[in-house]
Amino acid sequence: EDQVTQSPEALRLQEGESSSLNCSYTVSGLRGLFWYRQDPGKGPEFLFTLYSAGEEKEKERLKATLTKKESFLHITAPKPEDSATYLCAVLIPTGANSKLTFGKGITLSVRP
């Protein structure tokens, strides 16, 4: 069965303390891995798409990387405004179409 696991469930950092969020997957026929940010009371906001092992994407203090079994979202020198839930999802084929399977998310809190 296709699965996406994110760890840790929650992470508390001091402002400026860099860290990484993990997303591991067991999927047949991966068509891409995606990271989202979700603020309380809002829908997810798309961050990155990764398609092949070794690929990296960066945006401000965030950098996403992909291997054959997992992805990391590295946060460099985080600020309180980076506090949110970070979701990863994998796109898997379903017959002629495809669908997103999400992990349960990592709640990040950054203290000033």
Partner 1 sequence: KAGVTQTPRYLIKTRGQQVTLSCSPISGHRSVSWYQQTPGQGLQFLFEYFSETQRNKGNFPGRFSGRQFSNSRSEMNVSTLELGDSALYLCASSLAGRARPEAFFGQGTRLTVV
Interaction site with partner 1 (CB under 8 A) = 32, 34, 41-46, 49, 87, 89, 91, 94, 97-105
Q: Which is nearer to partner 1, 11 or 76 (CB)?
A: 11
CB of 60 to partner 1, least distance (A): 18
C-beta separation of 19 from 13 below 8 A: yes
